[in-house]
């Protein structure tokens, strides 16, 4: 917002400004045998955090924030069955499967009063991860990626009244059980321990959830 105000106040020919700021990859100091290296680091990105502000001259700023590249996986409590089929459907029912995706999320603020942007970003990330994983001991069932996405957005809007809408993208990152039978070796058996990651074919699940706009009449 400060940069937007700078450009609008400094240059009379500028009628609007849009500023997007992203975090760079985090760095963790290398450690060996309990000792931290003095000057060597390893990249440790969890995801990319960003914020975007758009402002027109003599108008209030429009503020959005988000995250991208949040790669997650759980090995059970995910299913996808009894879905709509057509003559071209080849995807079988999956009673229990690996669920993996790379989460992108963006939310918009309708009210900037009293917003702690850093705390809100952490809250949103935690809400997404809690919905995906559930409690550490029991986990949580996910009957579809679509429902997990919707529940995440609903939880965030319930926790932060200043957020007016949220959109998310969860592309499928499939892990299929590898067929050891092709080697014709009885000693090689896959007891659901070896999975082959693949990104094709796959789907991209996207949705936007926004608050109802109450009539002023």
Q: Which helix (H) or strand (E) holds 163?
A: strand 163-171
Instruction: Give the pLDDT of residue 108.
Output: 98
Could you read off the pLDDT of 29-73 as tens digits, one per residue? 999 899 998 988 888 778 999 999 999 999 999 999 999 999 999
Res. 215: pLDDT tops 70:
no
Could you read off the pLDDT of 151-190 as tens digits, one per residue? 999 999 999 999 999 999 999 998 888 888 888 888 888 8
Residues 7-15: contacts with CB under 8 Å, at least 24 apart: 8/55, 8/57, 14/57, 15/56, 15/57
Could you read off the pLDDT of 77-108 as tens digits, one per residue? 999 999 999 999 888 898 999 999 999 999 99
Task: Tell me how far apart the alpha carbons of residues 149 and 154 are, in angstroms, rounded to a whole number.
Answer: 9
Res. 217: pLDDT tops 70:
no
């Amino acid at each position: 917002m400060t940069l937007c105000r700078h450009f609008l106040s400094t240059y009379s020919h500028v009628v609007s400004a849009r500023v997007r700021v992203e975090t760079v990859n985090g760095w963790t100091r290398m450690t060996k045998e309990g000792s931290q290296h003095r000057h060597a680091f390893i990249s440790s990105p969890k995801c990319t955090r960003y914020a975007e502000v758009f402002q027109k001259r003599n108008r209030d700023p429009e503020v959005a924030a988000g995250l991208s590249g949040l790669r997650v996986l759980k090995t059970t409590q995910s299913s996808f069955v009894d879905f709509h089929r057509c003559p071209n459907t080849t995807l079988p029912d999956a009673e229990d499967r690996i669920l993996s995706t790379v989460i992108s999320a963006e939310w918009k603020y309708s009210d900037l009063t009293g917003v702690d942007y850093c705390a809100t970003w952490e809250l949103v990330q935690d809400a997404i991860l809690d919905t995906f994983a559930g409690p550490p001991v029991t986990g949580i069932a996910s009957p579809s990626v679509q429902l997990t996405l919707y529940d995440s957005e609903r939880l965030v809007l319930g926790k932060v009244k200043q957020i007016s809408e949220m959109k998310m993208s969860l592309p499928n990152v499939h892990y299929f059980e590898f067929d050891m039978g092709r080697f014709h070796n009885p000693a090689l058996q896959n007891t659901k321990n070896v999975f082959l990651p693949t990104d094709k074919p796959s789907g991209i699940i996207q949705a936007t959830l926004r608050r109802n706009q109450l009539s002023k009449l």
